[in-house]
Amino acid sequence: MIQGKVIKYGDNIDTDVIIPARYLNTTDPAELAGHCMEDLDKTFTGRVKPGDIMAAGRNFGCGSSREHAPIALKAAGISCIIAETFARIFYRNAINIGLPILECPEAAREIDEGDQVQVDVKTGKIVNLTKGSVYQAEPFPDFMQEIIRADGLIHYVRERMKRS
């Protein structure tokens, strides 16, 4: 179970603002986290706390395929992202690196900045503790659950390659 305070943004949050290309000459998660969201919100790195949940609108993570984007968010402390919709490469990247993300339009719209929110990644249940509302996101299909259980795609592939 994940619980945290919400930091909220709007629609079409692209990977260029999540982590600008000028910082892609490193792969160090901590260094990337230090510049996360800075072109959109200079206060983000200063106020994000480990465990915080990000909420956003449509098409979150659109743009480049840089895995540095979910890596930066995860390293900054974000424990889960709830959005109306996700761009597809960001979606797979987040799952592949073990950053839980949930698509739930109602929750994404109604949750506000600063709300305390609880998420059960396994069932897709989202509870807004501040407002007392409950939402149900589509749970991950079994195959993705397996990847998440294996702590990301790399472990999953390693296990399968060992077996074959």
Partner 1 sequence: MGMTMTQKILAAHAGLDRVEPGQLIMADLDLVLGNDITSPVAVKEFERIGAEGVFDKGKVAIVPDHFTPNKDIKSAEQCRLIRDFAYRHEIENYFEIGQMGIEHALIPEKGLAVPGDVIIGADSHTCTYGALGAFSTGVGSTDMAAGMASGKCWFKVPEAIRFNLKGKLQPWVSGKDVILHIIGQVGVDGALYQSMEYGGEGLAALSMDDRFTMANMAIEAGAKNGIFEVDDKTIAYVKEHSDREYRIFKADEDAVYTRVIDINLSDIRPTVAFPHLPENTRTIDEVGEVTIDQVVIGSCTNGRIEDLRAAARLLKDKKVHPRVRTIIFPATQKIYLQAMREGLLEIFVEAGAAVSTPTCGPCLGGHMGVLGKGERAVATTNRNFVGRMGHPESEVYLASPAVAAASAITGRISSPEEVMK
What residues make contact with partner 1 under the rule CB under 8 A? Answer: 12, 14, 16-17, 20-22, 24-27, 39-40, 58-59, 62-68, 70-71, 85, 87-89, 92-93, 96-97, 141, 143-144, 152-154, 157-158, 160-161
Quick one: tokens of 124?
A: 């897709």
- Smallest distance from partner 1 to CB 78, Å: 17
Q: Which lies closer to partner 1 via its Cβ, residue 16 or residue 110?
A: 16
Burial class (CB in 10 A: 0-12, 13-18, 19+), 23: middle
- Smallest distance from partner 1 to CB 13, Å: 10
- Smallest distance from partner 1 to CB 6, Å: 22
- The H or E element that residue 119 is part of is strand 116-120
- The H or E element that residue 56 is part of is strand 53-56
Calpha distance 86→159 (Å, rounded): 28
CB of 75 within 8 A of CB of 106? no
- Smallest distance from partner 1 to CB 155, Å: 8
Q: Which lies closer to partner 1 via its Cβ, residue 118 or residue 145?
A: 145
Q: Which lies closer to partner 1 via its Cβ, residue 36 or residue 71?
A: 71
Q: Which lies closer to partner 1 via its Cβ, residue 78 or residue 127?
A: 78
Calpha distance 31→13 (Å, rounded): 20
